[in-house]
Structure formats: C-alpha cells, structure tokens
Structure 1
C-alpha cells in the first residue's frame, strides 16, 4: 500500500529482518558451489565479510535491549493506551530497515533516534486507525489473503514464510491481522488524500531531471514515451504522500497525545 512510504511498515520490516537471518545458511550454501572460478572468489570474499554466529548473537542481544515490557504503557493517544507489544513490533521494523541500509541501530545516537521514530510511527498508526474506524473502513478476507500471498511470494514461499514468522515469534493469524490493518490504512489514505492528475509538463520536467543526472554515467534511460507511464505513477504517489503526510500532521495537532517513555 502507498501509505507504507509515509508510515514505517511493521510487517515488512520485521519480515525482512527475519528473512535475512533465516536465509543466511541457505545463501552461504549456494555460494559454495559457483559455476565459475570468479564467482567462487566473490563468494569467498562475501563469506569472509559475513558476521559470525557469535557476532550476530551479540547484535541481537543489543537490539533486544531496546525493547520494553509488553504490558508497559508507552503512550496514550486520544485516551487509547498503547502497550509495549505494539511498540516492540514497530521497533523491530525500524531496526531492520536501518540494518538493511548498512547502519548500526545499536549505537547510542541511533538508539535515541529509533526510540523517537518508533513512538512517532506508533502514534501515527494509531491516529490513522482511529480515523479509519470512524469512517467504517474495513479489509475483506479476500483482500487480506491476496496481500498475504504477495508477502509469501516475496519472502520465498510457504516454508520461508514459516521461518520468517517463527524468527519473529509471530503466527500466521497475527500477520494477517497486521495486513488487514495496512489495507485499511491504504483505503483511508485514498479517501483523505486522493492522487491528483499529473500533467505532461510535470512528466517532462521529471524526465529532463533524470536525463541530467544520468549525464556522465553509464546509465541509459528509455525514451520519454516508454518511461512516461512509470513517471506518472511516481509523481502521483509523491503528491499523495505529501498530502497524506500533511493530513497526519493535522491529526496529531488536533489529538491528545501523551508519551510515557
């Protein structure tokens, strides 16, 4: 859903983190038998850079230290109490995203940033859910199953999904509940911040900027005729994200929010 660009996705981030951990052994096995000698060297170099099990365990212990008690009240949003279990879900998502970007989420500075970002994300999620409930927006079973199948395919199939869920101490039904929430959020975004029509002039300007950035590089861009549809989609999404971000800020300004940690 488009709202994921605005709000940090609990589900996607958590699964991405666990998938990386679950697939470490499989990846190493595949790299041990390359078809060519150069591939073998690359695999050896990559394996040498990979952290050991002890290092991974220490990293995970540091990540776990940032969690709070599941029953602890971390914030109150419009008289709704938010507990540590939801906070920890958001926390793991943000930690995973930082790791994917090559950043260390366990540093002192990063820990403070993550705490602030996690609370902000959790508050945003709660405000949107509250408003979506008021608007009586729901997700059908068919919509949830379709989205779940997409996640399962991206992760690598049913077995890989089971590993990812196990690593996150999550079951299939919990994941589907989170997917249902994400679908509702997407519907709410479409309701309050519908995408505006993109003009040919805006598409041309975006393309010209891309061409200018590609100058002096080996990157070759397709003709405007071929790229216009994709550019239009990008610009529509950008506009919608900006509108929705402004809407969320308005919700926060009008809400009663109390942070407890």
Structure 2
C-alpha cells in the first residue's frame, strides 16, 4: 500500500505495512492458484532445511529486539511512548534494512536500529503534538475521501474490511484515529515546511545528472519533457524533507525528551 506522505505517524505506517502484507498475500495466493490451474511446468520449490532454519533464526533475532508492549520507551513533553509503538517502528526499519540487503541482527545494526527507532518515534510525536496545538482542522469529507482511497487500493469495500479485520481493526478506528492523525500530520508539514516550485534550470540540472548515470548503466532516459513533472515532484520532496528536518531540530531544542531504554 502506498502513501503520498514521505513521513507518517507510526500508526499509519504500521497500518500501511500490515494491510499491504495482507494484499500481497491475497495476490500471491491468486497467482499461485492460477499457475496451478493453467500449467504444471513450473513447480514451486520448497525451502531447504538449512534455509528454513536460517529464516527461523533470523526471525527469532528480530523479535528479540522488541520490547514489552506496555514498557515506556521515552517521554516527550510528558507524553509517554510505549513499547507497542516502538515495536511497530522497529519492525518497519528492520524490514527496510532487509530490503537493502543488510543484516538487521548484527551487533552494530541492532544499536543503529534502536537509535533510529527512538529518533523516528520522537520526531513523529513532536510533529503531531505541534499539529494538534496549531488547531488544524480535518473535515469529515477529507476523512471519507482518504478512506475511499484506501478502499480503491484494496479493490473495494469487502476487501478493505477483510484487511482491517486481519489487523484487528475496524473502519471507525481507522478513520477516527489513524486517518485523522495522518491528515493532521500532512497539513502541519505543508504549513511549516512548504516547498517552493523548482525552476527550469534546477529541473534540467537534475535531469542531466540522472541521464549521465543512466548512460553509464547502459540505459537511456525518456526525453526531459516527458518526465519533467516527476523530477519537479522529486525536487520538491527533497526540499521539503530538508525543511522538515530543520524544523524538527528546532522542536527538539525546545522539548523535554527523556529516553527510558
């Protein structure tokens, strides 16, 4: 499941990961069924005992990095952040490292992941705290529109309800808690870190840089006019990320933050 935000409250991020996994599982199941019905030429290979053992050992080590769901991991401006929230972000970061071909269970990675998880939690909490203080309003129509976008991504109301059920969640909880926080988060970012439109010169420079990289890799980019809009979006996002990072550092300086693990 894809979100248009580049930084999300951990709850929305968790939902995205969980629901995406459900969607992927359904898709894979349908694909496997189709293959079985149409051809016997390709047979799925079962993992070897060694591969299965290695996988189980990896999963065990990943789980060991988690903390008790009720344990207080940090306090940000008197708001307690607990293990359940920590573990959600932790699993996301672990997954990202694995996708990049890195071992998240090494001693060095374990410490890095812990620091990154706490930092992410604190950053998101500070943003949400300020967003709520700013009296930013989220209308029911905006919530409904966002929810419909979720439904469309999952192929309709029934598929969405099944995905939510698998995560022990209902539509009301999704709307009133996760979607509201996600929209508050997004609106606050747009308010405090609005990205300026990239100039033609900046777009051309970026295009020339990636075109050169593509050429070295034996590939050819489409003409600039065909992807200038995408480049403009990338540049705007990069600029906004820098502005948000600066804003978060300012919030940290003024905040009272206490780590408990």
Q: Same fold (TM over 0.5)?
A: yes
Residue 243 (structure 2) aligns with: 243
Higher relative contact order (CA 8 A, sep 6+): 1
Structure 2 distance, partners of 1:97, 1:151, is 23
Deviates more, 1:60-69 or 1:244-253: 60-69
Task: Determine whether 1:20 maps to 2:21.
Answer: yes
Residue 74 (structure 2) aligns with: 75
Q: Describe how 1:163-178 pairs up with structure 2 within 5 A.
A: 163-176=162-175, 177-178=177-178
User: In the alignment, is the contact (CA less than 8 A) between 1:8 and 1:90 conserved in 2?
Assistant: no
CA drift of 1:91 comes to 2.5
Residues 23 and 201 (structure 1), Cα distance of their counterparts in 2 relative to 1, 3 Å cut: closer
Structure 2 distance, partners of 1:100, 1:109, is 18
CA drift of 1:130 comes to 1.4
Output one character per residue of 1:2-36: Cα deviation in whole Å (capped at 9) or x when no partner. 6x424575424553355436744751552364498
Structure 2 distance, partners of 1:92, 1:175, is 20
Structure 2 distance, partners of 1:164, 1:60, is 23
Deviates more, 1:19-28 or 1:52-61: 52-61
Output one character per residue of 1:157-184: Cα deviation in whole Å (capped at 9) or x when no partner. 4455445444444443333312211111
Deviates more, 1:60-69 or 1:85-94: 60-69
Residue 112 (structure 1) aligns with: 111
Residue 32 (structure 2) aligns with: 31
Deviates more, 1:170-179 or 1:230-239: 170-179
Residues 146 and 48 (structure 1), Cα distance of their counterparts in 2 relative to 1, 3 Å cut: farther
Residues 148 and 66 (structure 1), Cα distance of their counterparts in 2 relative to 1, 3 Å cut: farther
CA drift of 1:121 comes to 1.1
Residue 6 (structure 2) aligns with: 5
CA drift of 1:135 comes to 0.9
Deviates more, 1:178-187 or 1:147-156: 147-156
Deviates more, 1:226-235 or 1:17-26: 17-26
Name the SS for the 1:196 alignment partner.
Answer: coil
Residue 84 (structure 1) aligns with: 83
Residue 184 (structure 2) aligns with: 184
Residues 216 and 77 (structure 1), Cα distance of their counterparts in 2 relative to 1, 3 Å cut: closer
Residue 64 (structure 2) aligns with: 65
Residues 247 and 26 (structure 1), Cα distance of their counterparts in 2 relative to 1, 3 Å cut: closer
Deviates more, 1:194-203 or 1:68-77: 68-77
CA drift of 1:224 comes to 1.6
Residue 142 (structure 1) aligns with: 141
User: In the alignment, is the contact (CA less than 8 A) between 2:76 and 2:257 conserved in 1?
Assistant: yes
CA drift of 1:100 comes to 4.1
CA drift of 1:71 comes to 2.6
Structure 2 unaligned segments of length 5 or more: list them. none
Cα RMSD, aligned residues only: 3.4
Residues 26 and 222 (structure 1), Cα distance of their counterparts in 2 relative to 1, 3 Å cut: closer
CA drift of 1:123 comes to 0.7
User: In the alignment, is the contact (CA less than 8 A) between 1:13 and 1:96 conserved in 2?
Assistant: no
User: In the alignment, is the contact (CA less than 8 A) between 1:8 and 1:121 conserved in 2?
Assistant: no
Structure 1 unaligned segments of length 5 or more: list them. none
User: In the alignment, is the contact (CA less than 8 A) between 2:97 and 2:104 conserved in 1?
Assistant: yes
Residue 221 (structure 1) aligns with: 221
